[in-house]
Amino acid sequence: MNTGKQLLDIDELWCIKEDRFSGETTKHYEGLFTQGNGYMHVRGSFEEGLEGAAQDEEYLRMPANVTLEKPRHPESKWGTFIPGVVGKHPLLKEEIINLPYFLSMNLVIAGEKLDMKLSNVKEYRRWLDLRNGCLYRTFIWETKAGLSLRLTYMRFISMSHEHLCLQQLGIEALSGQGVVDIACGIDAGVRTNGYNHFREVLTAEPETGCISAETLTDGGDRILMLSSVKASQNILWSRQQKDQNVFFWGSKLLKAGDCLEVQKAVSVVTGRDNEAGELLERGLKYLRAFGAEGREKLYENHAKVWTEKWKYSDIKITGDFEAQLALRTSIYHLIRSNCENDPRVAICAKGYAGEAYFGRYFWDTEINMLPFFIHSNPKAARNLIMFRYNTLEGARKNAGAYGYQGARYAWESSVSGEEQCPCWQYADHEIHITADIVYALCHYVNGTGDLEFIWNHGIDIMVETARYWVERVDINKNGYYELLGVMGPDEYLPMTRNNAFTNRMVKFSLDKTVEYLEAVRKQDANKYRDIEKRLALTPEDMARFKDVGEKLKIPFDANTLIIPQSDDFQDYADLDFDTIWKDRTRPFGHFISQERNYRSKALKQADVLQLIMLYPGDFTREQLSASYDYYEPITTHDSSLSASVYGITAAWLGRLEEAGKFLKKVMETDMSIEKKGAAEGIHIANCGGLWQMIVYGFAGLKSAMWCSEIRLEPHLPEKWEKLEFTLAWHGKWYKAAITQEKYEIFEMQDQLEA
Amino acid sequence: MNTGKQLLDIDELWCIKEDRFSGETTKHYEGLFTQGNGYMHVRGSFEEGLEGAAQDEEYLRMPANVTLEKPRHPESKWGTFIPGVVGKHPLLKEEIINLPYFLSMNLVIAGEKLDMKLSNVKEYRRWLDLRNGCLYRTFIWETKAGLSLRLTYMRFISMSHEHLCLQQLGIEALSGQGVVDIACGIDAGVRTNGYNHFREVLTAEPETGCISAETLTDGGDRILMLSSVKASQNILWSRQQKDQNVFFWGSKLLKAGDCLEVQKAVSVVTGRDNEAGELLERGLKYLRAFGAEGREKLYENHAKVWTEKWKYSDIKITGDFEAQLALRTSIYHLIRSNCENDPRVAICAKGYAGEAYFGRYFWDTEINMLPFFIHSNPKAARNLIMFRYNTLEGARKNAGAYGYQGARYAWESSVSGEEQCPCWQYADHEIHITADIVYALCHYVNGTGDLEFIWNHGIDIMVETARYWVERVDINKNGYYELLGVMGPDEYLPMTRNNAFTNRMVKFSLDKTVEYLEAVRKQDANKYRDIEKRLALTPEDMARFKDVGEKLKIPFDANTLIIPQSDDFQDYADLDFDTIWKDRTRPFGHFISQERNYRSKALKQADVLQLIMLYPGDFTREQLSASYDYYEPITTHDSSLSASVYGITAAWLGRLEEAGKFLKKVMETDMSIEKKGAAEGIHIANCGGLWQMIVYGFAGLKSAMWCSEIRLEPHLPEKWEKLEFTLAWHGKWYKAAITQEKYEIFEMQDQLEA
């Protein structure tokens, strides 16, 4: 079998491993081992499923606090996601649909079905190679009938042919003999959060040697999956169907010493692909590549793309094996979940690696993930902002639904941009997302120099959201504008007054809008007239943006040592954390009622510290230090967006022990087997947070938002010998190398992709 | 036919009438004409149903703001409710179940089904006689086949035999001839808020001349309905079944001049009745009363009970026909919906006259309805408080669910006392209900002198809720206790700080608990020891109750002219009501998003004014007047609990024009045909509010809470010549008679019921 080389080459710095099977951690590994290529994503489930883990259970899932909810399916949940393929859930609003499971491969010997829980399995090992995105599994199965087999699985979702997935199974008979029944197919017995989004599933054999399952979703999408199968020895495959599963069935007599290799290819096409042609025609074309080019060639092309990706994305940490692997895992998932060629979608909160958060887009994209893309793949960064431009119409509808002019981005965005969050406290009050997007687009422009993006797209977002803000503010007795009824980043205080983070973001957004408009008016009267016309911009608009931007209340100034999270923050109750939080390995939210939480000074996540991190120039070191010391003890870090912010600011303060503690927390979020953190999907914002901890925190890179030159102020953890990474910066590539003693930045000769 | 006399006697001061049929207002009259006897209640729907108004539609009703929601079933919704018969709705939690419709009577002539919308109907008239709770309908039906009939319906739910309902139909052939098919039965094709709570419905003919439908609900209750039918002429009745409807079917040839009278009786028994014996045995026993005593005797017994009720409840207003009728309608519904003999239930928010508010119990019972019962039926008042005593265990569970000791009453209580409100902002934050109950029980005791009630039951409520309060408070920097995260009576501000109403109520509750406990300790050491033992009361409890009661922050004092609704009230935004509220005939809430509403100074209902009304001795006339002038313009009165409070305080201030305006608003709530206010049920709290407007407002009765003697301070509306009412007061009956010039109070010789 061709994977022999890779099998020997489990590089500890590049491979995440599972050394033994346990039902307890299967779901965690399903999330952690998710494979994908931007276009499609599949969780790392076993090819044969798992005993007792039904995938088509229907139940009524209620809107709830996802962070604290106990999810169903404790042991295993398949996940097959195509960004943009969504449907309406009666209670949860629009959600990404968990599509038919196309990895299905089942083995039966003398009536005994292979199952990791039930079968007698030895020498089990599974690993994901981050270099090439291939998932491997090998073990010995001792069947009851006496036949003993070594099975070796390998699969990848092609990075070079985005509609293709290839699977391979090597079977080596070690002792005994018997007939192996093999079934390879597509299983539509899948429900999303307990709901059936499939209006119909049509199965067929469109041509000899090819089976198909065509799904019509309740969102109106058609998904065609085609599959073919090859074996190294002659097997007569017949198409069969059982319940919602269509598959090729074949059998082979094996005796000790026999080897058999089975290869399966799947092509997936949808009606929303940006391609001409009938579904079947396109699907067959991609599938035939498997027949024509062969698996080896396809693998080579695939691996080449991954190598290229890593060239510009990898960060090398010498002296810290754990941090190295965790960081590469994060970067792997960021690369995988980025839909590079499709600005109609962005990166959802679970990185298309689970049903949690319903495949929706949050502020995480802009604040947590975007910096990685600005500096490793500027085109992808641009696409992420373009998603917001493409959903401006949805944002306009959101504003209208609340009775406002302009555009208001959704707290939980669907592909249309319309609000999908079913819990009003977030949807109604967590309004900073709308300003975060303007911050992010300015960050992109400042990091890349792509000013044209402002004039052609960005300014539309800026003007339309400014129109919303000038209506969303209230004026107070002193003539200042206020933002009342606001949930800041800290989601444990749902309705506060003048949240410092939010007000500062909104002020930035309004000021930048005025600044860009005034600049273009001076520099290019024609262009300004175009913008005026396109956006029906009036002098009154401008005057109002300026007025509100100038007079929006900022609840701190140079004399405020501890920045107040909001005007009313001191009115909330103090808590005795030690009494309440009995087990700090579990979220604080599990130990307190929402009612009490909502009236107490217990932060879910960084809020003021997030503000300082994004606007470092606004604050002195003393303000940072005092705010850190005040807020850290009352921050629960129940949100995965928190630890990295504290870690970065701790590094800035030179508090390396604290920074190390937060680094550990960030790494554990998805990597810890004990916490099973990846069970419901990847905390993809935390992946971006880990990148930021390394680059902004330990390397001390000054944000491109505020600094036109590359500037570092490193604070490496003690045991780190060297830190090396690449940076895209204003259209050029740079390499940085940092040791405890010194650092170097040099320009690379590589050209940036257009 | 025997109803001839009543037909002529439509007393305008006692009968609410519908003079023409309209699909637009049918649902309103269904609510307004609801009949009941405490044990069971049926909306005033047509016996034959209504074309196009399916009653068994299933749909997913979501938790929402009931006040502002657009309900389904615009034209007609049956409603058959037995207090206490509840089931679990998957989204709305526990709700009262709309049971099979037992009034069903259908007529068909030559294939033409009688239907108010489709049939050719003349001289239509329908009215509810409040004196005896009988509902009448008469009209001429000109059938397509040429037969013309005068039909006269009459029905009542017996006040003397609580399990019995009697119906009567008189048919007089005016011209033509033809065969009339008559079907009388029980229709189980009923869903509650779109949900099927019936696990099974078994129909049978348990003995000759009797049909039955036995329903097993998802709440585990068995409801047996039995029905028999009699005719004045010989008709051969056969039992038939169609879909979920079981009925007697018979037919008769009629020609001009013929008369036919059909009588139908239904008995209803359930497994939760406080009676021994098998369901069938009991049901048949009650049904046989119809055969044995005959309709006339049953009617007489029934009417006698109503006469007795009115003797102690009626209020006579001379000089204002509209107020007279509206007030009697309110009193009628209060009497009807009171489950006099069953302290396991109370009076639900829609008075068992509709599906809205799900048959749940709110603070309305204690604050809006209780005064009527204290002064017209003290035994019923005691029962209402006993309901809270009986649900103390549920209240303990509620407290526990939030992590508190003691008892916390539900914002929306089920029969178990457990919280059923599916919207967290009310359930979590509208906490005053727990103190309102203590206020109400003290009000009952002060109005009746029933001090024993405190020692045997009330003190349990007081101590257990006090234990909750001392945990619910937070201590502030100044050493004062605060109540944070509170929704006061005004439901348009969900999370405020130290709501004046709530804090005052809680202080009252704690102070009274300490006061009663100290009193009994001094007076009766044995009794005190009993209480100590029963409630595991410790000196620490007492000290803590006292401390929190003393130091609970009351956000006003004698120098506060305008009482602040809460500590943070001035931090909310001012609104330009004229711009937003484009049509003042519709609720303000329809014109503003919840998001904006929640951050603005727009009150849903009286809050500070409710406080002043309940604690008049705490405030000067100047404080009342200034607070009234400040809050009235920013109060939307979107809640039906609001207008009566403003009306009462306006009367106290001698502002009779304003009081008159609010009186009109209160009367219109259920009576206005244009507003169709009763469509979803009776606003039973508003009924109590109307009684309070007359007695507390215009008659100026000083609340028995604060005054041991009867004292009046009348402010009669100008056109009122005389106001007369009875009052139960400390175990005796009094009569008050008020004219513009003077008033008299004299004791009656009647004995109060034990």
Structure tokens at B151: 């039909």
In this predicted structure, what is the pLDDT of residue A2?
44
CA distance A494 to chain B (A): 9
pLDDT digits (tens, 9 = 90+) for B310-338: 999 999 999 999 999 999 999 999 999 99
Residue B144's alpha-carbon distances to A350, A352, B120, in angstroms, are 67, 66, 8
| Residue B429 to residue A595, Cβ atoms within 8 A | yes
Domain final residue, candidates B313, B346, B367: B313
In a domain? residue A656 = yes
- Interchain contact B617–A (C-beta under 8 A): no
B263 and B328 part of one domain: no
Question: Distance, in angstroms, between B74 CA and closest chain A CA?
Answer: 23
Same domain, A258 and A386: no
Is A300 within the bounds of a domain? no
Does the distance separating the beta carbons of A598 and B573 come in below 8 Å? no
What's the pLDDT at A340? 86
pLDDT given for residue A753 in this prediction: 56
In a domain, B752, yes or no: no
Nearest CA in chain B to A597: B485
pLDDT at B74: 79
Is pLDDT above 90 for B485? yes
Interface confidence: ipTM more than 0.90:
yes
User: Is A680 designated active site?
Assistant: no
Q: What is the maximum span of chain B, computed from C-alpha positions, in angstroms?
A: 89
Residues in B closer than 8 angstroms to A600, CB to CB, are 474, 484
For residues A382 and A441, membership in a common domain is answered with: yes
Q: How confident is the model over B734-751, as a mean pLDDT?
A: 93
Q: Which amino acid would we find at residue A438?
A: V
pLDDT score of B67: 64
Q: Would residue B628 count as lying in a domain?
A: yes
Q: What share of chain A is helix, strand, coil (3-state, %, to 5)?
A: 35, 25, 40
Residues B406 and B425 in one domain: yes
SS3 at position A629? helix
DSSP secondary-structure letter at A486?
B
Quick check: is A525 in a domain? Answer: yes
B144 closest CA partner among B125, B123, B121: B121
Q: Are residues B326 and B307 in the same domain?
A: no
Chain B contacts in chain A segment 565-604 (CB below 8 A): 567-568, 571-574, 592-596, 598-600
Residue B5 has pLDDT above 50, yes or no: no
Residue in chain B closest to A431 (alpha carbons) equals B595
B363 is in an annotated binding site: yes
Token pair in block for residue A495: 């309705």
Q: How far apart are CA B726 and CA B696, in angstroms?
A: 13
**Domain for residue A643, yes or no?**
yes
* Run of H or E including A519: helix A500-523
Instruction: Please name the residue of chain A whose CA is at the shortest distance from the CA of residue B476.
Output: A573
- How many residues does the structure list for chain B? 754
Of the partner residues A402, A495, A593, the one whose CB lies closest to the CB of residue B402: A593
A599/B485 touch (CB, cutoff 8 Å), yes or no: yes
Do B591 and B500 reside in the same domain of the chain? yes
CB atoms within 10 A of CB B575: 19
pLDDT at B4: 44
Coil, helix or strand at residue A68: coil
Closest residue to B403, CB basis, from A62, A574, A593: A593
Q: Does residue B49 surpass a pLDDT of 90?
A: yes
Does the beta carbon of A204 lie under 8 angstroms from any beta carbon of chain B?
no
Q: Which of A486, A595, A597, A601 to mutate to test the interface with B (most CBs of B within 10 A)?
A: A595
Count CB neighbours of A236 within 10 A.
Answer: 10
Q: Which of B229, B374, B257, B382 is nearest to B313 (CA)?
A: B374
* CA A613 to each of CA A629, A645, A648, A692, A696: distance values in angstroms, whole numbers, following the listed order: 15, 7, 8, 11, 9
Q: Which tokens in the block code for residue B237?
A: 């009745």
Please give the residue of chain A at the shortest CA–CA distance from B574.
A474
User: Strands (DSSP E) along B459-571, which ranges?
Assistant: 474-475, 481-482
Could you give the 3-state DSSP secondary structure of residue A724?
strand
Do residues A209 and A227 make contact, with C-beta atoms less than 8 angstroms apart? Answer: no
Q: Could you tell me whether strands B743-747 and B238-242 are parallel, antiparallel, or unpaired per DSSP bridges?
A: unpaired
Amino acid at B227: S
Smallest CA-to-CA distance from A709 within A688, A693, A727, A725 is with: A727
Q: What are phi and psi of B422, to 5 degrees?
A: -85, -5
**What's the pLDDT band for B724 if we cut at 50, 70, 90?**
very high
Name the residue among B403, B484, B572 with its Cβ closest to that of A484: B572
pLDDT of the residue at A288: 92
What is the rounded CA–CA span in Å between residue B621 and residue B615? 12
Alpha carbon of B474: minimum distance to chain A alpha carbons (Å): 6
CA distances from A56 to A52, A77, A215 (A): 12, 10, 15
- Kindly identify which residue of chain B lies nearest to residue A471, measuring between CA atoms: B596
Position A492 in a domain: yes
CB atoms within 10 A of CB B244: 18
The reply to whether residue A594 touches residue B428, judged by beta carbons under 8 angstroms, is yes
A482 contacts in chain B (CB < 8 Å): 573
Angstrom distances, CA of residue A708 to CA of A448, A510, A612, B130, B408: 10, 22, 19, 83, 59
Do A589 and A676 sit in the same domain of this protein?
A: yes
CA–CA separation, B389 and B44 (whole Å): 33
Whether the pLDDT of residue B302 is over 60: the answer is yes
Q: How far lies A333's CA from each of A158, A313, B27, in Å?
A: 15, 12, 58
Residue B555 has a pLDDT of 93
Q: Is B604 annotated as a binding residue?
A: yes
> Is B605 marked within a binding site?
yes
Look at chain B and report how many structural domains it folds into.
2
Nearest-by-Cβ selection for B595 from A428, A482, A497: A428
The answer to whether A459 and A442 have CB atoms below 8 angstroms apart is no
User: In chain A, pLDDT over 70 holds for what percent of residues?
Assistant: 97
Q: How high does pLDDT run on average in chain B?
A: 95
B401 touches A at CB < 8 Å: yes
Please check whether residues A232 and A355 belong to one and the same domain.
Answer: no
B305 with B319, same domain: the answer is: no
What is the CATH classification number for the domain harbouring B243?
2.70.98.40
Dist. CA B83–CA B343, nearest whole Å: 11
Distance from CA of B603 to the nearest CA of A (A): 16
* Same domain, residue pair A495 and A356: yes
Look at residue A299 and tell me if it is in a domain.
no
Look at residues A261, A294, A327 and tell me which one is the last residue of a structural domain: A294
CATH code of residue B574: 1.50.10.10
**Residues 472-511 of chain A whose Cβ lies under 8 A from any Cβ of chain B:** 474, 482, 484-485, 494-495, 497
What are B87's strand-pairing partners?
B95
**Which of B206-210, B610-614, B615-619 is predicted least confidently?**
B206-210
What pLDDT is stored for residue B482 in this prediction? 98
What residues of chain A lie within 8 A of the CB of B482, using their CB?
Answer: 573
- For chains A and B, CB pairs below 8 A equal 76
Where are the alpha helices (H) located in B314-414, listed in sequence order? 321-337, 364, 370-376, 378-390, 392-401
Contact B495 A495 (CB under 8 A): yes
In this structure, are residues B151 and B173 in contact, taking their beta carbons and an 8 Å threshold? no
B599/A484 Cβ within 8 A: yes
Tell me, what amino acid is at B335? I
What's this model's pTM, rounded to 2 decimal places?
Answer: 0.94
Tracing tokens 């009956």 back to the chain, one arrives at B733
A58 contacts chain B (CB < 8 A)? no
User: How far is A327 from B442, CA to CA, in rounded Å?
Assistant: 66
- Are residue B72 and residue B141 in the same domain, yes or no? yes
The answer to whether the Cβ–Cβ distance between B598 and A62 falls below 8 Å is: no
pLDDT confidence of B66, banded at 50, 70, 90? Answer: low
User: In this model, does residue B253 exceed pLDDT 80?
Assistant: yes
- Mean predicted confidence (pLDDT) in B210-228: 97
pLDDT of residue B105: 98
Residues pairing with B318 in the sheet: B722
Average pLDDT over residues B162-168: 97
Tell me which of A162, A412, A491, A680 is the catalytic residue.
A491
The pLDDT value recorded for residue A396 is 98
pLDDT along chain A (754 residues), means of 10: 53 95 96 98 98 91 71 88 96 96 97 97 97 98 96 97 97 97 97 96 94 97 97 94 94 96 97 94 94 90 97 97 98 96 96 96 97 97 98 98 97 96 96 98 97 96 98 94 98 97 98 97 95 96 98 95 97 96 95 97 98 98 98 97 97 98 97 93 98 98 97 97 97 96 92 58
Contact between A335 and A309 (Cβ < 8 Å): yes
Which residues 681-710 on chain B approach chain A with CB closer than 8 angstroms?
Answer: none
Q: Which residues form the domain of B634?
A: 315-747
Shared domain for A728 and A662, answered yes or no, is yes
* pLDDT, tens only, B425-445: 999 999 999 999 999 999 999
The last residue of one of the domains, among B297, B313, B329, is B313
Q: How high is the pLDDT of residue A4?
A: 44
Q: Which position among B18, B430, B491, B680 bears the catalytic label?
A: B491
